[in-house]
């Protein structure tokens, strides 16, 4: 996966190079609004959507974002934390506002039927073909990011301060934000006073946004557990220590962490998403592998769950007389996303002023995760708000029928393109202008 084909890279570069630079939409309609996205912004979105790149391979996407910022007059640095892009634009005294977008896509085979659907496939480490799709809306985020930069450059007289535009790699692997911070994001560039991002969602109608103060998204830990036994013939179990039985008891016991050890007022999830062991009906294997996802908000809850997983796995193995202790390893982690309450309130007010109170909601927290959380943990007041992406009539019909629209990461996910992009640009522009508003005389 680290080396995509040269042919694909060349085609992608030509496609991006041939695209005219995105231009701003028509003149603003109101305080912070834009008209409908220009044809060039829509073309930018379609090109990004058609040519997705996986985490840690976002070379051409990053180059495109860097080109857009340079065109607008930003001082641009590439290769931050891998393929990350940082743009800085100074416009007098005032705070520094960071606006983040993500660059990466997912290993999903697109099935939307759109005329600009992704047909990209890349070679995996074993030579297998892996389909790639922007199934999480990062293409929407990038387009809004560019469109918002255009609006702010055109209206320099209405705000004062510094723009820190960050295009982050590897959000889907939950390590891109940390990589950029470790590469000096807040040391080599102006340290932001505020960090802002949006994320589209099919749970809200296009034209609307949502802000969740406090904990908005959970932490996520991917845990690998290997349970060891002593294999042998399935007809002579007395001569073995069966790791499949140990694994079965372990899976059931893990469910008691949330149901019996955790305060029910503290949300938490322990899900065993994968279990693998054995090769044939009549063979007891030597080991069984489990893969778990652990979700919570508070650090104390997270730490207790991870400790309890180790305790239970070891206890079940010991009770069964296993030849050695199981291994328990956290292979990926992402902290909970906490939206600074004071900044959330200010952003909510700015969004209500721009979009109307009826189009701004406070959705409940979710148990999905995002590494935007790292910027807040680095000491910067941070808020990630939600951008509605569903066709309003389709969302209303789905709710009426008690069903859900295709979710993020679905091969069928497709946002209400124009309305979603327009609202995203309006929302981000309004928020940044508010945070960088010139003092009234």
Task: Tell me the two tokens of residue 239.
Answer: 């001569």
Give me 2's structure tokens.
């680290």
Backbone angles phi, psi at 172, to 5 degrees: -65, -20
Answer for the pair 241, 323: CB distance below 8 angstroms, yes or no. yes
DSSP annotation string for 191-223: PPSEEEEEEEEEEEETT-EE---EEEE-EEEEE
- Beta strands 161-168 and 129-131 are unpaired
Catalytic residue among 102, 104, 287, 434: 104
Give the DSSP H or E segment for 87: strand 84-91
**What are 197's strand-pairing partners?**
384
Active site residue 104: yes
Q: Give how far Cα 196 sits from Cα of 103, 152, 297, Å.
A: 16, 15, 20
For residues 145 and 424, what is the distance between their CA atoms, to the nearest angstrom?
8
Local structure of 439: helix, strand or coil? coil
Has 171 been annotated as catalytic? yes
| Contact (Cβ atoms closer than 8 angstroms) between residue 256 and residue 316 | no
Going from the C-alpha of 219 to that of each of 49, 108, 347, 370, the distances in angstroms are 28, 23, 23, 8
431/339 Cα distance (integer angstroms): 15
Nearest Cα residue to 53 out of 134, 143, 174: 134
**List 171, 371, 416, 428, catalytic entry:** 171
Torsion of the alpha carbons at 153, 155, 161 and 165, rounded to the nearest 10: -30
Which residues on neighbouring strands pair with residue 86, listed in sequence order?
Answer: 77, 166
Q: And the tokens for 344?
A: 């959330």
Tokens coding 303? 């730490």
8 Å CB contact between 400 and 120: no
C-alpha of 358 from chain center? 27
Give all strands (DSSP E) within 244-336, no chain letters.
268-277, 283-284, 287-296, 327-334
Q: How far apart are CA 85 and CA 100, in angstroms?
A: 10
Active site residues: 104, 171
């Amino acid at each position: 996966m680290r080396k995509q084909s040269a042919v694909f890279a060349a085609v992608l570069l030509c496609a991006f190079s041939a695209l005219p630079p995105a231009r701003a939409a028509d003149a603003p309609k109101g305080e912070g609004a834009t008209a409908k996205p220009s044809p060039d912004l829509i073309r930018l979105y379609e090109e990004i959507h058609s040519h997705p790149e996986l985490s840690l391979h976002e070379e051409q996407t990053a180059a495109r974002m860097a080109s857009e910022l340079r065109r607008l007059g930003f001082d641009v640095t590439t290769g931050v934390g891998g393929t990350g892009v940082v743009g800085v634009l100074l416009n007098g005294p005032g705070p520094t506002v960071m606006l983040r977008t993500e660059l990466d896509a997912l290993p999903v085979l697109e099935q939307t039927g759109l005329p600009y659907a992704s047909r990209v496939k890349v070679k995996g480490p074993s030579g297998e073909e892996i389909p790639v799709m922007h199934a999480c809306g990062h293409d929407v985020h990038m387009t809004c990011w560019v469109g918002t930069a255009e609006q702010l450059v055109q209206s320099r007289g209405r705000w004062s301060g510094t723009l820190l535009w960050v295009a982050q790699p590897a959000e889907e692997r939950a390590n891109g934000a940390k990589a950029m911070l470790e590469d000096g994001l807040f040391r080599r560039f102006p340290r932001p006073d505020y960090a802002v991002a949006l994320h589209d969602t099919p749970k809200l109608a296009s034209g609307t946004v949502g802000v969740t103060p406090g904990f908005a998204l959970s932490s996520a830990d991917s845990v690998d557990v290997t349970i060891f036994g002593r294999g042998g013939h399935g007809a002579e179990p007395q001569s073995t220590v069966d790791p499949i039985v140990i694994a079965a008891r372990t899976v059931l016991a893990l469910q008691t962490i949330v149901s019996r050890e955790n305060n029910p007022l503290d949300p938490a999830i322990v899900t065993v998403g994968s279990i693998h062991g054995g090769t044939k009906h009549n063979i007891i294997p030597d080991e069984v592998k489990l893969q778990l996802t652990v979700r919570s908000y508070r650090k104390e809850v997270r730490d207790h769950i991870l400790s309890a997983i180790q305790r239970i796995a070891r206890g079940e193995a010991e009770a069964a007389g296993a030849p050695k202790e199981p291994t328990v390893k956290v292979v990926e982690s992402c902290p909970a996303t906490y939206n600074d309450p004071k900044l959330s309130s200010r952003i909510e007010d700015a969004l209500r002023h721009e979009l109307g109170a009826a189009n701004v909601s406070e959705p409940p927290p979710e148990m999905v995760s995002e590494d935007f959380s790292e910027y807040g943990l680095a000491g910067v007041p941070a808020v990630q708000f939600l951008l509605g992406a569903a066709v309003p009539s389709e969302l209303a019909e789905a709710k009426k029928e008690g069903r859900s629209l295709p979710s993020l990461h679905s091969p069928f996910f497709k946002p209400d393109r124009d309305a979603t992009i327009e609202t995203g640009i309006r929302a981000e522009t309004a928020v940044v202008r508010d945070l960088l508003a010139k003092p009234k005389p």
